[in-house]
Amino acid sequence: MWSFISLVVVGAIIGALARLFMKGDQNLGILWTIILGALGALGGGWVADQLFGGSTIVTWIVGIVLAIILITIFIAVRGRGARAAR
C-alpha cells in the first residue's frame, strides 16, 4: 500500500517538475501529470540504476527528463487525434 502511495507522490512531483521545465502551455490534467510522472520516475529509476548505479540525484534527473519525453509524446499523440476528429 505504501509503495503505491509513494509512487503517486513521487509521480506528482516528477510530473510537476517536468511540466515546469517544459516551454509553453501543456493542456494536461493532474491525473495524466501524475501517471506520466510516475512512469518517468519508474523508468528513470531503472535507467539510472543500470547506467549510473542508482545515484539519487541522477535518478531524479533522469526521471524528470523521461517524464518530459513522455508528456511531449502524449500531447503530440492526443493533439493529433483531436485534430483528426474535427
Phi and psi at 12, nearest 5°, equal: -65, -40
pLDDT at 83: 52
- Does residue 86 register a pLDDT over 70? no
Q: Does 16 reside within a domain?
A: no
Q: Model pTM?
A: 0.84
Number of domains in the chain: 1
Q: Does 21 reside within a domain?
A: no
- Does residue 84 register a pLDDT over 90? no
Q: Does 47 reside within a domain?
A: yes
Q: How far apart are CA 86 and CA 76, in angstroms?
A: 16
Tens-digit pLDDT profile for residues 37-66: 999 999 988 998 898 887 888 889 999 999
Q: Does 70 reside within a domain?
A: yes
Q: How many CB atoms lie within 10 A of CB 85?
A: 6
Q: What range defines the domain where residue 34 resides?
A: 29-86
Provide the angle, in degrees to the nearest 10, between the axes of the packed helices 30-52 and 2-21: 100
pLDDT at 38: 94
Q: How far apart are CA 41 and CA 4, in angstroms?
A: 13
Average pLDDT over residues 22-45: 90
Q: Does 53 reside within a domain?
A: yes
